[in-house]
Chain A
Amino acid sequence: MSVMLLFLAAIAAIIIWWMAQQRLTSRPWLEVGHLGQPGGGERSPIPAVKIGLYVFLAVVGALFSLFISAYLMRVGTPDWWSTPIPRLLWLNTAMLIVSSAAMQWAKTEAERGRDDPMRTALLAALATAILFLTGQVFAWRELTQAGYVLADNPANSFFYVITGMHGLHILGGLVALGRTTVKAWSAPASRSLRLSVDLCAVYWHFMLAVWLILFALFAGWANDFADLCRQLLT
């Protein structure tokens, strides 16, 4: 559970940082009267949907931290044979990185108010993300055909479950991104569209970061870290 505790520590740090600005030491019983100006414990200027997205990402982060925690508690048991990493995964990773970069590009263009390049960038992000998902399915097929099926070995089970969960999150993001793209192509950019693009970009960067961590985990580069965690716990 050490990974989850690390994640919680990060969340706790964010909460403490936020609470430190909320005047939690004020004496409300002495402060009668209207506190109009923002700052002193009032709402943040960030749009509510964006805060909602950040909170949602915290939930998603908790979910993957728990999967990784479970992985690290199970890894290295006598019945564990590591699953080989299909070379296709490198290509998929590249696709996801391109997708994330395209989202960043779309976001920059949206902020500058240039509609056409933004639309192109959105399409590029959408296409590469779909390629990523297709690639993941092909990687699964490659593995199953090589005899690494789900239930044979815990390493395989974890690989399929965790990549599947990540794929589902990308799929959910694709729905939002698809709607945003359709909106971008059907009407001139508005404030709400720019916000949508911004939110999609945040989500895309987050899912890329999750994927890179998972990839490192499956490729075995995280083994040293895993050993460290296990030593901490024994």
Chain B
Amino acid sequence: MVDIRSDASEAIPPSEVEDVELYHPKSWWTKYVFSQDAKIIAIQYSMTATAIGMVALVLSWLMRLQLGFPGTFDFIDADHYYQFITMHGMIMVIYLLTALFLGGFGNYLIPLMVGARDMVFPYANMLSYWLYLLAVLVLAAGFFAPGGPTGAGWTLYPPQAILSGTPGGKDWGILLMLFSLILFIIGFTMGGLNYVVTVLQGRARGMTLMRMPLTIWGIFTATVMALLAFPALFVAAVMMLFDRLLGTSFFMPAIVEMGEQLQQGGGSPILFQHLFWFFGHPEVYIVALPAFGIVSDLISTHARKNIFGYRMMVWAIVIIGALSFIVWAHHMYVSGMNPKFGFFFATTTLIIAVPTAIKVYNWVLTLWRGDIHLSLPMLFALAFIVTFVNGGLTGLFLGNVVVDVPLSDTMFVVAHFHMVMGVAPILVIFGAIYHWYPKVTGRMLNEAMGQIHFWVTFLGAYLIFFPMHYLGLLGIPRRYHELGETAFIPESAHTLNAFISVMALTVGAAQILFLFNLVWSLKKGREAGGNPWRATTLEWQTPQTPPAHGNWGKELPIVYRWAYDYSVPGAAEDFIPQNQPGLGGPTREAAS
């Protein structure tokens, strides 16, 4: 583990944030490359995550090509297919979603939204990004290593993950994957300490916890969860490395490989599953909670109405975070367990639906009688609510042991988790980018391209994943590289598979339009001004757009109100910024 304190112990934070000394870059290199400014680090995180995410997108295309048109593409054999599945899953869940929500949005939004000049430990923050980049490079090196990347499935279950029958099992693939995960976790821990301590200690005067925007609550809670959950993956990765390299038997049972009895024996593959899912289930909410928070702010801002049930929203975030640590074994129903445990984990799983449903009701009630502007962020936020409810409902099915056991190895599960933790958070990421891009660059994203991007992505995602539920109910297995001649699979299922593949290619292509829009609008976009959405939160009240180094001018903002003062009766505007003491307009008092 890396020691965080050594570099951070120099500066004692004074009682007032006003005196915090910032690191001032001296050259182009320290300003834009080895930057300690959270905003630059956020952009670095986002660009790296997007780049590796594009790789994962292409992998999904290749998988869909094989599933939709089996036998057409010679270069996709069974080994390659498993490698694509593994890398697609791991990249999307960890290197894209986690890194983008916490490393990207967390870095950009936390200091700005709580009214700080920067993160509290800027140096550790910089190291966090460079370790993340290293992790991504090590992961990507798998594609060029002899034997290719690992094909063990994103869950990396032993013993198969480190046996020769699995692609990369006895080559470099699995090693690079495990090293990459270890690097990612060390890097994330450094960043995560920053996010947590900045929220705790970096807040501007008057910014009480209950005045924080829900975006910050979501990112904060998710970071706390990630700090406690990632060590489980770390432990699992270290122990598997020992099994693979040094012949220990933590996870390896007695096994015959290629007709040869291995030295190892007595290990417990179930132990790995416990460790993996002890990380893996909180991971779902590590991705979901920032999405919940961001979507709350998008809805409130673009419906010009205060969020309904703010306190309830905060409590729900915290309760979901706590509950998500005691449901992990619902991923292991098919591994076999004591029925009493199955009952316990099914119950806790279903209980999570309660705070989650509260959040959904509150979003809908915020919209009710709001002044809904169907801007792009709002469209994505609405799409998120629908998609999340859809994915959540199938989650209620799968949370029950008796339903999960027959469905577990079918496409139904693929459809479920793509809806709930693939499409839904990605929709929020898009909405958030359309929302905050003007603050990051000073220009609006192109509306027409955005509309095409939205409708193709939203409708396309449904055309991909809705039919997939049906395929799952038919009993079509997941993880299979081709179905072959099977009596229970009708011809129509193959047609449907081909249709899904065409839709997947289309939706993927729409993302290229989105990336083009990001680049195009940088120069050609409409000038945004400081606060184009007329929002209340602090990041829109910076003296410069994009915010300069140090975020605020000479004086830090002082917070007088919560983040959701929209359409307040008697106010001059339909929004009151958090740092504005009075109602504004003619009745405005001196801000002393």
Contacts and interface: CB of A to CB of B under 8 A. Distances in A.
13 contacts: A22-B210, A28-B561, A29-B306, A31-B562, A34-B558, A44-B201, A45-B15, A49-B120, A56-B4, A70-B271, A77-B266, A78-B266, A151-B249
B311 A25 contact: yes
A18 B3 CA distance: 25
A27 B562 CA distance: 9
B248 A151 contact: yes
A45 B200 CA distance: 11
Interface in A14-68: 15, 19, 22-29, 31-36, 40-45, 47-49, 51-53, 55-56, 58-60, 62-63, 66-67
Contacts of B248: 150-151, 154, 157, 161
Contact of A79 (B266, B559, B560, B565): B266
Interface stretch (B25-33, B189-197, B519-527): B189-197
Given A59-B227, A73-B268, 20 more contacts: A1-B274, A24-B315, A33-B561, A34-B558, A35-B206, A42-B208, A52-B121, A52-B197, A56-B4, A56-B5, A58-B227, A60-B1, A74-B250, A74-B271, A77-B268, A79-B266, A80-B266, A157-B250, A195-B12, A196-B5
A45 B15 CA distance: 7
Nearest to A63: B231
Interface string A194-234: 01100110010000000000000000000000000000001
Contact of B202 (A26, A48, A62, A169): A48
Contacts of A88: none
A28 B214 CA distance: 13
B63 to A, nearest CB: 33
Select the residue from A29, A41, A234 with max chain B CB neighbours within 10 A. A29
Interface of A is mostly: helix
Given A28-B211, A51-B200, A176 B6 contact: yes
B172 interface: no
Contacts of B9: 49, 176, 180, 192, 195-196, 199
B193 to A, nearest CB: 5
B326 interface: yes
A154 B271 CA distance: 13
B322 interface: yes
Given A24-B315, A53-B5, A199-B5, A34 B205 contact: yes
A169 B231 CA distance: 14
Size bin of chain A's contact surface: 35 or more
Contact of B1 (A26, A47, A55, A63): A63
A58 B228 contact: yes
Interface stretch (A4-12, A109-117, A127-135): A4-12
Nearest to B195: A55
B564 interface: yes
Nearest to A234: B338
Interface stretch (B77-85, B173-181, B232-240): B232-240
A179 interface: yes
B232 A66 contact: yes
B249 A35 contact: no
B8 interface: yes
Size bin of chain B's contact surface: 35 or more
Interface in A138-190: 150-151, 154, 157-158, 161, 165, 168-169, 172-173, 175-176, 179-180
Nearest to A190: B12
Given A23-B208, A77-B266, A173-B3, A47 B13 contact: yes
B388 to A, nearest CB: 25
Interface in B156-204: 189, 192-193, 196-197, 200-203
B285 to A, nearest CB: 14
A191 interface: yes
A221 B198 CA distance: 41
B268 A26 contact: no
Contacts of B120: 48-49, 52
A4 B232 CA distance: 10
Select the residue from B231, B249, B318 with max chain A CB neighbours within 10 A. B231
Given A58-B228, A195-B12, A24 B210 contact: yes
Contacts of B189: 56, 59
B310 A28 contact: yes
Interface in B554-575: 558-562, 564-565
Interface in B539-592: 558-562, 564-565, 581
B15 A66 contact: no
A67 B271 CA distance: 11
Contacts of A33: 560-561, 581
A31 B209 CA distance: 13
Contacts of B74: none
Contacts of B275: 66, 70
Nearest to A66: B235
B584 to A, nearest CB: 12
A1 B278 contact: yes
B5 A203 contact: yes
B271 A63 contact: no
Contacts of B264: 151
B88 to A, nearest CB: 27
B448 interface: no
A201 to B, nearest CB: 12
B268 A192 contact: no
